[in-house]
Structure 1
């Protein structure tokens, strides 16, 4: 078997180096492994810092613009497609992630033995915290409202419809897995056209895996494959951050684009309305309890400017 590893870097040269070395330092059995590192025009000269990694096993792509996650991966996928001998599987590894065990070998072996499975994700842990959610259900109108209201009785009522699947879950078929550590059949990636280049960051892996499932393939979470992930090291967006933070504008744009593309404009608008209603209820409940609301900072204004406006056919108003 041949596995091509892709790491897309932006401003995290030291972490990217650790991610690459975590792959190079392990014995992957009879699996041939090549690594491709895309530097998305990092402003601090990351390409130069990573240049010495170039070897017969590692290829560095010093880009002149920031392509985002999906387009950065597509750049390598196009290069691989042009090769005479193509990889069996592609392993997408975040720059702030590194192998904890022989995850790559376990994921490749799983795919080899399960021909109906097109993609498999690893169990993800965060230093000092433990296992993090890495397997998910597709987002929809119901679970987006549940996530926005973030209220115990509602959560318990809809726990089997939640987007997130518990971090301590066993190996199982799921809707999608975290893009921080996922292995995908190369021929399936080619068949579905890779990542949608319209996404800059966020929701691109959800969209890709939905298209993979729509094509008749399965996606699995493999608990036995473990990857350590410093979530948010590059984007500064972390689900475990104790304080409320403002989400970047591209998160909101990606949200509306995904829902509009997948379900249509009317469904996306209905979902947006329920999210706003849920967030308003959460604010009221949080104030009564003397707690912080669960919505990101400036959620209502940002959601209107960068998600709802495009759904209404108006120009988005971003802030970064």
Structure 2
């Protein structure tokens, strides 16, 4: 099988149906398979999805798997990957829709570039506006840049800025968004699956880091277009925009990421530099009513979650009530 497309559903059945509908004319059932993992939604997701599969005679090319536990982004995708053998795996968010020809272009790119182990498309809004989806790795200095949110500091440390400008030509990056990412089976065979210690967030960055370390490259082909609703399958982006406190699992993932890539000293540096940047942002907010800080509620304290034990198992969202 050339390609297995993995989609995670968690209480987003109508979004999942939408992405499946966008795949109908794109999937060659002779060499492709779609796997939908329901991550223990505990709602009417399975009924809605099963009904759609029957009404559209889609059971021949879509496997619906019900997980009895929500293991997050990594665990859900790993379950899908392990359920089917393929040369390539396309991880596809439920809050996406595939533009015509995107799947074909991603596969062609994978075949033309043996050095590229991960290939991503251009992500865009429903209106066609390109989204930032190609990045550098997060570093302690990038934490300083983000929390300070000051043009002078951003310019001074521009080589550490995480988000990269949108380009209209193919290029290599340190990592790209896993909202839609093609991963060659060879990569997984060499470096392993997604790290399930990450419930959600930073698992894509860490996986890309391992891939690059093993000699693979991450390639973005903007000729392939995929619509991304951004945050439709997760509350973090919307809560960040509103400056509300984001879920604990985000900070647990952040802590684990900095520890795995930079060690305990790197994690400490990231937190200290973030605090320094946040202090600068605070002073700016006192001096100017027009300045708006990017810092969300209780971020000062939440950055230190699991600091003393970075590899501690994540707290499942069902096990806490964070307000």
Deviation at 1:99, TM superposition (A): 0.7
In structure 2, the residue matched to 1:90 is: 89
CA displacement, residues 5-42 of structure 1 (integer Å, 9 cap, x when unaligned) = 000111110001111121122366x9722100000111
Does the Cα contact within 8 Å between 1:3 and 1:31 map onto a contact in 2? Answer: no
Deviation at 1:156, TM superposition (A): 1.7
* Greater alpha carbon shift after TM alignment, 182-191 vs 87-96: 182-191
In structure 1, the residue matched to 2:70 is: 66
In structure 1, the residue matched to 2:79 is: 75
Quick one: distance in 1 between partners of 2:15 and 2:151?
Answer: 37
Quick one: distance in 2 between partners of 1:128 and 1:296?
Answer: 29
In structure 2, the residue matched to 1:108 is: 107
Does the Cα contact within 8 Å between 2:38 and 2:64 map onto a contact in 1? Answer: yes
- Call closer, same or farther: CA 1:132–1:239 in 2, change over 3 Å: farther
Which segments of structure 1 move beyond 6 Å, counting only runs of 4 or more? 315-318
Normalising by structure 1, we get a TM-score of 0.90
- Call closer, same or farther: CA 1:72–1:11 in 2, change over 3 Å: same
Q: What SS does structure 1 have at the residue aligned with 2:227?
A: strand
Alignment of 1:41-190 (within 5 A): 41-52=40-51, 53=53, 55-80=59-84, 86-128=85-127, 130-168=129-167, 170-190=169-189
CA displacement, residues 158-193 of structure 1 (integer Å, 9 cap, x when unaligned) = 223211111345320000010001001012112211
Quick one: distance in 1 between partners of 2:30 and 2:297?
Answer: 46
Deviation at 1:199, TM superposition (A): 0.8
Quick one: distance in 2 between partners of 1:302 and 1:269?
Answer: 14
Normalising by structure 2, we get a TM-score of 0.90
Q: What SS does structure 1 have at the residue aligned with 2:159?
A: coil
In structure 1, the residue matched to 2:12 is: 12
Does the Cα contact within 8 Å between 1:96 and 1:230 map onto a contact in 2? Answer: yes
Quick one: distance in 1 between partners of 2:175 and 2:83?
Answer: 26
Does the Cα contact within 8 Å between 2:26 and 2:103 map onto a contact in 1? Answer: no
Deviation at 1:57, TM superposition (A): 0.5
Q: What SS does structure 2 have at the residue aligned with 1:184?
A: strand
- Call closer, same or farther: CA 1:229–1:176 in 2, change over 3 Å: same
Does the Cα contact within 8 Å between 1:135 and 1:174 map onto a contact in 2? Answer: yes
- Call closer, same or farther: CA 1:27–1:94 in 2, change over 3 Å: closer
Q: What SS does structure 2 have at the residue aligned with 1:293?
A: coil
In structure 1, the residue matched to 2:279 is: 280
In structure 1, the residue matched to 2:255 is: 256
In structure 1, the residue matched to 2:39 is: 40
- Call closer, same or farther: CA 1:169–1:272 in 2, change over 3 Å: farther
Quick one: distance in 2 between partners of 1:27 and 1:312?
Answer: 39
Quick one: distance in 2 between partners of 1:156 and 1:319?
Answer: 39
In structure 2, the residue matched to 1:225 is: 224
Q: How many residues align?
A: 312
Unaligned runs of at least 5 residues, structure 2: none
Does the Cα contact within 8 Å between 2:115 and 2:217 map onto a contact in 1? Answer: yes
In structure 1, the residue matched to 2:295 is: 295
CA displacement, residues 195-225 of structure 1 (integer Å, 9 cap, x when unaligned) = 1111100011111111111111111111111
- Call closer, same or farther: CA 1:101–1:285 in 2, change over 3 Å: farther
